Every structure is written in C-alpha cells, then in structure tokens.
C-alpha cells in the first residue's frame, strides 16, 4: 500500500468551510429527540435514590393504573435480556455483570430500577413517580482506597472484593535506577471525576416491525455498527434485521461509545410493545447515570540525578471504576491507559507500574476524551514541575533535559509504544517563545514583590491517535478493529462517500469530502459523505480516540484511488490513450499535455454504467470501491503553556491566556483542527478548575444539575493562541495523525501547573483537582499563615 496516495492541493490542507453547517444554522438538523414517528410512546426510567441498597420489593400497581400508561417493567419483566459485561480479554480482570434493570441490589444513585412506558413523556414521568420501591439501604463506599480495605462494603459480594484488577509490571532495571539516583521524589495526586456532559443527552428510539421482524433502532451513539452487533446478540434478532441509525449527535466525547443498559431495554420494549418506544434522557439522568470519567489516585516516585535527568519512575494507579466494570473497556479504562502514558514524551528507561481497578458506589466510569491520559499527564507534569523546583531548575529546563529528541524517532517506550515521529522539543521551544516565557518569569518575580501571584504552567504531551488494532495493543487494550469506506461515482459523475466513522461535531462531511475531492479531481460540492446509518455506511467501529482523521482519511483515500483508476481505465478507452496519460481536474478527464482532448466526469461515468463497449473483459461496471484501513500506530504531540493570576484574597484563578502548539502531522483542514484543539482546551479548563462529580459518604450524588456541576462558559475561557507544527507521520496514509484529544489530555496539567506555580510553595500541599477557590485559598493560608 502506498502511503503517498494522498496529494495536497486544492482541497487537502485548505480551510474549507463546513458543508454540513447550513442545516445546523437553520434548525433543520434532526437529533434523536427531534425524530417524530407516528404512534411513538415514551419511556421514563425509575432510578435508585440510594448509592447502595437491597431491593426488597417493587410495587408497580399504582403506576399501571395511570391513564395512558402502556406498561411498567422491572428486572423480572426483562429477565430474557442477558447482563452486560466487559468482554476485554485481559487476564486477571474480574467481570461484574450488570443487569439491564437493577436486580436484587442497586449500586449507584441513578441506576435504572424500572421503566414506565406511556403515551407521552409527561404521563410517563407522572407514573414513574408512583412506582414504589422498597429499599434496604446498605453501607456505601465512594472512595477507591477505602473500597480496597478488607472491611469495606462489597458491591459485588460474589467476588469477595471490590478490587477487580491489580497487577504490577516492571520494565527495565528499576532497582538500579533508584540505586543510582541522587534524589528520590514522591507525590500523590487524586484527579477529579468529571464528565463529558455533551449538550445533547443520551437517547434512543426503537421501531420494530412485527411482520418482517425488522428492528430499526435510532440512538445517539458514536458507534452504530457496534451497537447493531450487540443489540442483535442481546435481543436474539438476526443482525441483518437490525438497522441502527445514529442521527445528528449533539456531542459525545466518548460518553456515547458504549452499549448502555437503557438502550438494550428500550430496543427490547419496542419489540415487545409493537409501538415505537422513545427515551430521551434528562440532564439529571445524564449526570447521574451516564458514564463518568477520569478519576484516579496516582502515586508517583522518581529516581532523579542532580542534573535533572530522570532515571526511573514508579507509578501506582488506582482507577475508581464506579459500580460496574463497565462494558466499553472495563474499569481498567482509566488506570491501564494512564499507566501506558506515564513516561510520556520523556526518555525514561526504567519504569514500574501497579495498576489497580476498584468498584465504588458511583456511576460507572467510561470513555471521555483522552481516557486515562488526562490523569496521567496531570500527575506527571505537576510532579515534574515540583521536582524541577526542588532541584533549583526551571520547569522548562527540566523538560529539556528529559525530553525525547527528534533524532530518536522511531522511539519505543518502556511500555511498548512506538512513537513514529514528532516535534517534542520543538513544540516546547515554540510555545515558550510564543508566550514570552523569559519575560513572564521576570514579571512573575516583580508581581510577587507586590504580593500578586502570577503563574506559568507547561504541559508537554504526546497523544496516541489513530485508534486501530496496533495502537490499541500498544496502549494495553488488545481489541482488534478495522474500518471501511465506500466511494462511488454515480452515472452522472457525482461522488458518494460512505464511511463507518461517525461524525458528531468533527466535520467529517467536509474533511472526508476534501480527501475524495482531492483524489478524484472534483469539487467538494460534487461529493456527499454519508455515515451513521448501518444500512448505508459500511462496517466499522465508529468514532472515538482521535481515529477518524487518520482512519477515515486513509480509507477514503484508498477507495477513492481505486475508483479513480477504474474511471481512468474507462476514459482511456473512450479517448484512446493509456490511463497513465490521463489526469482529472475540476471534474474533467483530460490527456496530459493535450487538455483539449477531454471528457467530463459525467460523460465517462455515464459510459461506464450504460455503455458496455467501454468495459474491458472481467471489469466491474460500477465505479465503486470499498476499502478498509487499520493503520499503524501514530502519535501526535504538542505543548501547552498557561498563564494565570491567582487572587490571594479569594483564591479565584484568572486565566490570562493559553498557548497551544500542536503537531498532528498532515492537516486535512486546519480550521477543523483548531476547533478540536480549542474545544478540548475548554473542557480541560473545566477539569482543572471547576468540574467535579461529588458524592457524599452515603453515595448520594451532590452534583446532579448544571448549577452544582459547573461547565466553563464564554467568560471562563481565555484567549487561546494556537500554532501548528506539521511533522507528517511516516507510517500512515498521507501522514495524517489526529488531534481530537490532545487539548483535554494536556490542559488540566497546564492550568493546574500555572496555579501551583503562582502560589508556590503553597502549591505543594494541593493534591486534588479541581483547583477550587477553597483549595487554593486553604493552601495559601496554610503557607503564609495569613
């Protein structure tokens, strides 16, 4: 396979305005809740108000008598449905099967216990209020370390423990590294549990046609084909009679890449009731019962030479997995991913990690942009800042002394990641230059004299992208995958691209059209991109983990290239020249060097379909190709620098600016890249300063509205300065890398680093994010004795 098939020209690399935008701008776009099918009935779930309780009895009789109610269902009514469990083939990982409606016990606030279906949502909610569940409250455990204690309340009694995984791995000569160290440092961080909070909540609509046995399932999902597969298996419907349609999706960020119990229940009820059944989650449900993310307790230990060289690292990573080791990738999704990336961009040749996954009485943990890597990056970068200061080194200089340099690529880390290329040191230097680092340090010292607290935070990162089989393996999650694209030129010469990667804000209808247009020599206006419907898009995994630019771009390039060759073979017979002497531009096929000998794409395509004489022996008439792509592992990188000032009276953090230098290889559309970076940075600001899911000791969720769970608004996000470096990957088609997650991977470290820098040495006492005014102020007060 040629990696060079993707040229850069008129379309690839251009700031093309998004072709999908008009329907969003005018309100025509149809999300799940907007789909109206005659005869639809509506579901409302009854959810646990307890973090941990035994279900003694459920009385649905009052709810059933409400006019307009079609049915009330509990675990007993859906007993035919198998429990959900993680299928990840990792030795030593204990499964925690989850009944789709809670059976015998509830294990977190918000767990679905029953579901009411009624003629409209208002009536469904009225009736849900009348479902009486008799609970016997049990002691809850909401702290991962406490959950590991021998006397902790057990979530899954049959396991005899809340620890679903624990394993230590030693890479390199860790004892020698620590024996040779001049200094050894230790630090503990507790990264916060925060959530994707897409503006559109989850939802689904099940339409079952009894006569044909066909299930059409609409869902706000990131992975329609995976959902189809699992629905077929869970419901016992042959897969070819299941169609999943993911309409417009109002943000997902990983939260919608799982098979949710609610989806299985609703799909089933559509079949049982013979009426379309719709469920649209409300915000409280989303905050309580959709997957949470990113909470870990990470203890780091570093063996360091006095010149700042890190000789070895030890990490203990405890993932707080919530009530179930969830079906996406289990409770390992956070700590195992984190363990792999702890060394990051640094040249560290001895490493030991202990990965622990624990169940607690909280919502299960799933994917959220930069899974595991956010926590790992935050802990390591803040730790390195601290080591630098202890050694009397500038944090930037400390990084220079440890960073992997460009002459070391390809670089294999101790955890088996193969960094293909990048600009680690270069991005650091460029970011420092852009932010005016030396001047900032001078200003910081001056302001400190005046009792003002200015801080600078650096976060230098590498991001595994292109989530295919190889990188999944390198990151510790052995799950093979592949994705497919079909490119077709219709008889009129128009181009249709159908892809397995789903778009929920990423702009694939534009970027993937750019790829096809470039290769086929047509205008982007002559290309449509389809996705999200299993009947129209070819098979594949969907969109997550910064995979769609690389995988989508690559597979569209492959398919478009094959179609181009077919088209040119037809044209060569029409024009009586060799195919290699032909080119296509602006929808015209012409003889190189003799542009007047030409045919329109329409003429060639029309002949290909309808004029049998131009078809060679054995040639297929359709101008169509379906190609798969499962890329080699590739890694993006970048550097963020944050400047902030901390108000020592209130503890409030004012962000002045964030500089982001990123390198995602070849860019399909820089405008879209910048959009990804800026959006991810804003989420990272939320994670650093504002967002946290808080449970009390009884397992009660205290943050179940957008008042108590605070997202950044336009006034909290400062000026963002973005600059691109472009180091094309030597191992992917077109050199594309991917950049979906870098911003959220790196920002909490950069922002928290700036805050801790501002208030140093008080910063050393803070070990938990987010950096709320209370935490900042209490650290400052303790330090200054004020």
Where does this chain bind other proteins (CB under 8 A)?
A: 17-18, 21-22, 24-31, 33-34, 36, 122, 196-201, 248-253, 282-283, 504-507, 671-672, 674-675, 678-683, 705-707, 711, 713-715, 717, 719-720
* CB of 299 or CB of 463, closer to other proteins: 463
Q: How far is the CB of 201 from other proteins (least distance, A)?
A: 8
Q: How far is the CB of 773 from other proteins (least distance, A)?
A: 18
- Spatial contact of 222 and 252, defined as CB atoms under 8 Å apart: yes
Give the sheet arrangement for strand 214-219, strand by strand. 69-74, 112-118, 41-47, 277-280, 203-209, 214-219, 242-245
Q: How far is the CB of 462 from other proteins (least distance, A)?
A: 22
- Spatial contact of 159 and 94, defined as CB atoms under 8 Å apart: yes
How many residues does this entry show for the chain? 786
* CB of 34 or CB of 182, closer to other proteins: 34
CB proximity list for 101: less than 8 A, separation 6 or greater: 73, 74, 75, 78, 112, 113, 114, 115, 261, 265
* CB of 251 or CB of 621, closer to other proteins: 251
Q: Is 513 exposed, middle or buried (0-12, 13-18, 19+ CB in 10 A)?
A: buried
* CB of 18 or CB of 627, closer to other proteins: 18
Query: b vs e for 440-471, b when ≥16 Cβ sit within 10 Å of the residue's Cβ?
Result: beeebeeeeeeeebbbbbbbbbbbbbbbbbbb
CA angle 560, 564, 569 (to 5 degrees): 150
Q: How far is the CB of 198 from other proteins (least distance, A)?
A: 6
Structure tokens at 522: 């047509």
CB proximity list for 715: less than 8 A, separation 6 or greater: none
Q: How far is the CB of 213 from other proteins (least distance, A)?
A: 30
Structure tokens at 607: 């002949």
Q: How far is the CB of 204 from other proteins (least distance, A)?
A: 16
* CB of 276 or CB of 340, closer to other proteins: 276
Cis, peptide link before residue 59, omega less than 30° from 0: no
Q: Measure the CA–CA gap between 444 and 642, rounded to whole angstroms.
A: 13
Q: How far is the CB of 362 from other proteins (least distance, A)?
A: 21
Closest-CA residue to 108 (of 333, 368, 359, 283):
359
Residue 115: in which H helix or E strand, if any? Answer: strand 112-118
* CB of 229 or CB of 671, closer to other proteins: 671
* CB of 30 or CB of 56, closer to other proteins: 30
Q: Measure the CA–CA gap between 550 and 552, rounded to whole angstroms.
A: 6
Q: Measure the CA–CA gap between 459 and 439, rounded to whole angstroms.
A: 19
Q: How far is the CB of 669 from other proteins (least distance, A)?
A: 9
What single string gives the DSSP state of each residue in 490-516? Answer: -TTS-EEEEESS--SSS-HHHHHHHHH
* CB of 35 or CB of 447, closer to other proteins: 35
Structure tokens at 603: 């003429």
Q: What is the DSSP letter of 740?
A: S
Q: How far is the CB of 709 from other proteins (least distance, A)?
A: 10
Q: How far is the CB of 66 from other proteins (least distance, A)?
A: 13
* CB of 75 or CB of 660, closer to other proteins: 660
The dihedral over CA atoms of 667, 670, 673, 674, expressed in degrees to the nearest 10, equals: 150
Q: How far is the CB of 742 from other proteins (least distance, A)?
A: 13
CA 299 to chain centre: 25
Closest-CA residue to 144 (of 373, 277, 341, 299):
299
* CB of 34 or CB of 649, closer to other proteins: 34
Q: Measure the CA–CA gap between 252 and 760, rounded to whole angstroms.
A: 37
Q: How far is the CB of 278 from other proteins (least distance, A)?
A: 12
* CB of 335 or CB of 366, closer to other proteins: 366
* CB of 78 or CB of 660, closer to other proteins: 660
Classify 479 as helix, strand or coil.
coil
CB proximity list for 408: less than 8 A, separation 6 or greater: 347
Q: How far is the CB of 759 from other proteins (least distance, A)?
A: 26
* CB of 29 or CB of 574, closer to other proteins: 29
Q: How far is the CB of 594 from other proteins (least distance, A)?
A: 40
Structure tokens at 124: 């469904």
**Dihedral sign, Cα of residue 31, residue 34, residue 37, residue 39:** positive
What single string gives the DSSP state of each residue in 667-699? Answer: -S-HHHHHHHHHHHHHHHHIIIII----B-TTS
CA angle 102, 140, 132 (to 5 degrees): 40
Q: How far is the CB of 719 from other proteins (least distance, A)?
A: 8
* CB of 327 or CB of 374, closer to other proteins: 374
Name the region of 161 (left: φ>0; alpha: ψ -120 to 50; beta: rest): beta
Helix/strand/coil (H, E, C) string of 439-475? HHHHHHHHHHHCCCEEEEEEEEEEEEECCCHHHHHHC
Q: How far is the CB of 279 from other proteins (least distance, A)?
A: 14
Q: What is the DSSP letter of 530?
A: E
Q: How far is the CB of 172 from other proteins (least distance, A)?
A: 39
* CB of 299 or CB of 645, closer to other proteins: 645
* CB of 330 or CB of 510, closer to other proteins: 510
Q: How far is the CB of 478 from other proteins (least distance, A)?
A: 31
Residue 291: in which H helix or E strand, if any? Answer: none
* CB of 283 or CB of 443, closer to other proteins: 283
Closest-CA residue to 432 (of 124, 157, 659):
659
* CB of 39 or CB of 451, closer to other proteins: 39
Tracing tokens 């108590």 back to the chain, one arrives at 708
Q: Measure the CA–CA gap between 724 and 71, rounded to whole angstroms.
A: 56
Query: b vs e for 112-122, b when ≥16 Cβ sit within 10 Å of the residue's Cβ?
Result: bbbbbbbbebe
């Amino acid at each position: 396979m040629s990696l060079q098939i993707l040229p850069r020209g008129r379309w690839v690399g251009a700031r093309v305005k998004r072709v999908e935008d008009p329907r969003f701008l005018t309100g025509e776009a149809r999300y799940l809740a907007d789909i109206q099918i005659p005869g639809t009935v509506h579901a409302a779930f009854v959810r646990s108000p307890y973090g941990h309780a035994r279900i003694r009895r459920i009385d649905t009789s009052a709810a059933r008598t409400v006019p307009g109610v079609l049915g009330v269902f509990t675990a007993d009514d859906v007993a035919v449905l198998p429990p959900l469990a993680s299928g990840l083939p990792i030795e030593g990982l204990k499964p925690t099967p989850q009944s789709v409606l809670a059976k015998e016990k509830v294990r977190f606030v918000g767990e679905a216990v029953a579901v009411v279906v009624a003629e409209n949502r208002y009536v469904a909610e009225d009736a849900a209020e009348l479902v009486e569940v008799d609970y016997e409250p049990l002691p809850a455990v909401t702290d991962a370390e406490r959950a590991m204690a021998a006397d902790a309340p057990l979530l899954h009694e049959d396991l005899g423990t809340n620890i679903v995984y624990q394993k230590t791995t030693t890479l390199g000569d860790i004892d020698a590294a620590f024996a040779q160290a001049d200094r050894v440092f230790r630090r503990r961080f507790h990264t916060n549990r925060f959530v994707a909070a897409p503006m559109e909540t989850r939802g689904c609509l099940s339409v079952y046609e009894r006569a044909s046995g066909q299930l059409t399932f609409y869902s706000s999902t990131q992975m329609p084909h995976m959902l189809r597969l699992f629905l077929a298996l869970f419901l016992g419907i042959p897969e070819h009679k299941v169609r999943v349609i993911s309409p417009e999706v109002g943000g997902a960020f990983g939260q919608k890449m799982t098979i949710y119990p609610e989806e299985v229940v609703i799909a089933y009820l559509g079949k049982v009731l013979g009426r379309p059944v719709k469920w649209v989650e409300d915000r409280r449900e989303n905050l309580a019962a959709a997957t949470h993310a990113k909470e870990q307790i990470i203890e780091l230990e570093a063996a360091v030479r006095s010149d700042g060289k890190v000789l070895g690292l030890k990490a203990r990573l405890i993932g707080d997995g919530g009530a179930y080791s969830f079906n996406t990738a289990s409770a390992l999704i956070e700590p195992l991913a984190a363990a792999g990336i702890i060394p990051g961009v640094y040249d560290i040749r001895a490493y030991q990690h202990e990965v622990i996954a624990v169940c607690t009485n909280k919502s299960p943990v799933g994917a959220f942009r930069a899974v595991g890597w956010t926590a790992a990056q935050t802990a390591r970068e803040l730790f390195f800042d601290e080591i630098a200061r202890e050694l009397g080194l500038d944090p930037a200089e400390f990084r220079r002394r440890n960073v992997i340099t460009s002459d070391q690529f390809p670089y294999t880390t101790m955890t088996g990641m193969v960094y293909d290329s990048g600009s680690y040191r270069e991005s650091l230097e460029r970011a420092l230059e852009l932010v005016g680092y030396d001047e900032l340090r001078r200003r910081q010292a001056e302001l400190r004299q005046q009792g003002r607290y200015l801080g600078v935070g650096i976060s230098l990162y590498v991001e595994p992208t292109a989530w295919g089989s190889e990188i999944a393996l390198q990151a510790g999650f052995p799950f093979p995958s592949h994705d497919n694209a079909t490119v077709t030129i219709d008889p009129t010469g128009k181009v249709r691209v159908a892809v397995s990667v789903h778009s929920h804000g990423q702009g694939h209808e534009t970027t993937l059209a750019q790829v096809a247009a470039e290769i086929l020599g047509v205008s982007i206006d002559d290309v449509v991109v389809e996705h999200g419907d299993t009947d129209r898009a070819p098979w594949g995994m969907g969109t997550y983990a910064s995979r769609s630019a690389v995988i989508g771009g690559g597979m569209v390039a492959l398919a478009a290239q094959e179609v181009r060759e077919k088209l040119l073979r037809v044209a060569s017979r029409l024009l009586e020249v060799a195919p290699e002497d032909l080119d296509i531009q602006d929808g015209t096929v012409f003889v190189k060097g003799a542009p007047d000998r030409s045919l329109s794409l329409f003429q060639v395509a029309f002949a290909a379909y309808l004029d049998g004489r131009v078809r060679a022996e054995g040639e297929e008439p359709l101008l169509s190709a379906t190609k798969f792509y499962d890329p080699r592992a590739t890694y993006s990188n970048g550097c963020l620098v944050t400047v902030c000032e901390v108000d020592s009276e209130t503890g409030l953090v004012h962000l002045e600016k964030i500089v982001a230098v990123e390198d995602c290889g070849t860019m399909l559309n820089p405008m879209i890249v910048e959009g990804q970076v800026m959006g991810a940075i804003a989420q990272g600001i939320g994670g650093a300063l504002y967002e946290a899911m808080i449970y009390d000791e009884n397992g009660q969720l205290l943050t179940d509205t957008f008042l108590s769970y605070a997202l950044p608004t336009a006034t909290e996000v400062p000026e963002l300065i973005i600059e691109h470096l472009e180091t094309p990957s030597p191992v992917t088609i077109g050199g594309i890398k991917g950049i979906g997650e870098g911003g959220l991977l790196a920002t909490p470290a950069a922002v928290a680093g700036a805050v801790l820098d501002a208030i140093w040495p008080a910063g050393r006492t803070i070990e938990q994010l987010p950096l709320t005014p209370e935490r900042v102020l209490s650290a400052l007060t303790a330090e200054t004795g004020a």
